[in-house]
Amino acid sequence: MGSERMLSMAEAINEALREEMHRDERVILLGEDIGVLGGIYRVTKGLLEEFGPERVIDTPISEEGFVGAAIGLAVMGFRPVVEIMYADFLANCMNQIVNFAAKMRYMSGGQLKVPLVIRTMMAHGRGHGGDHSQVPIPWFLNVPGLKLVAPSTPYDAKGLLKSAIRDDSPVIYFEPYILYRTRGPVPEGEYTIPLGKADVKREGNDLTVVAISAMVPRALEAAEKLAEEGISVEVIDPRTIVPLDEEAILRAVMKTNRLLIVEYSHKRGGVGAEIAALVVEKAFDYLDAPIMRLASPDVPIPVSPELGKLTIPTAEDIMAAAKKLVLGEV
């Protein structure tokens, strides 16, 4: 890898798309306002001018239609990357994703490949209300055949997207709006990050925190402050939810004997519930305290910015939960 630069997550995603389009002419982009406008958050800025309208395709407002077209393109040998403007709008093309993209490879006995990436933005935290702020990662946990990616840093965002584009299975790639402008080191040289490989963002001995997507920076902030109080926290970022790096999570829990899961989506039926069940099934005897989960409460996200803040776990929330677990106040 080459020297590192500081890029925002949006810039890292843009760079991954550009590099993969140069590397493989089968990579094409489809989505609303991704071409002339460069994406409503400028993530695809400059790609239309560089690759032309045959490879950067502005679509009508018809998610089911252009996701269906992308599935057909994938089966025919292209590697389409579709942008769904808000993750909430995945509901508009659920039939195409769940009943077609996810199942075609299995139902064809492996004869058909569906190398499709669906990029989508989670706007929770922007004050856009209940129908533009959902974090629907858990919707797809019960759909075999899909891979789910949720980066938390510019470095991970680029490396994971490049791997997703090269994968022969459909991947839903979830981008957190509140981290789009977060900057971090990204090497200039070629690199990829394998899907299904978690990252230990911080090592610790007293407590394991498994943080999902936008919750990773908050978990790290909490861990740093807790260290000043003598509490050592290990922060695990799964990076991909499916496939999940079970070994990394279990190894951390077996070391610290305590687990706190922090996620960006609603608590009921969430990623945290799945991870908690995994640990209870495979590492229950190592636990010295009950597993705790922090997540968005089970209410639609308010439009009010101040009320909306109350639906996302904060570093202070993480610190309070960690102290309960480590100090035995549960």
What letter would DSSP give residue 302? P
Q: Angle formed by the axes of helices 154-166 and 9-23, to 10°?
A: 30
Catalytic annotation present for 63: yes
Q: Say if strands 117-122 and 56-58 run parallel, antiparallel, or are unpaired.
A: unpaired
The active-site residue out of 11, 15, 63, 263 is 63
DSSP secondary structure string, 154-194? HHHHHHHHHHHHH-SS-EEEEEEGGGTT-EEEEESS-----
Nearest-angstrom CA–CA distance, 115 and 105: 10
Nearest-angstrom CA–CA distance, 228 and 70: 51
Catalytic annotation present for 175: no
Q: Angle formed by the axes of helices 215-227 and 315-326, to 10°?
A: 50
Nearest to 184 by CA among 326, 301, 34, 9: 9
Tokens linked to 70 = 């992308």
Nearest-angstrom CA–CA distance, 164 and 158: 10
Element (H, E) at 144: none
Nearest-angstrom CA–CA distance, 97 and 114: 11
Give Cα 240 to chain centroid, integer Å: 7
Q: Where are the beta strands (DSSP E) in 88-228?
A: 117-122, 147-149, 171-176, 183-187, 199-202, 207-211
The active-site residue out of 32, 132, 263, 266 is 132
Nearest to 15 by CA among 26, 4, 261: 4
Which positions are catalytic?
A: 63, 132
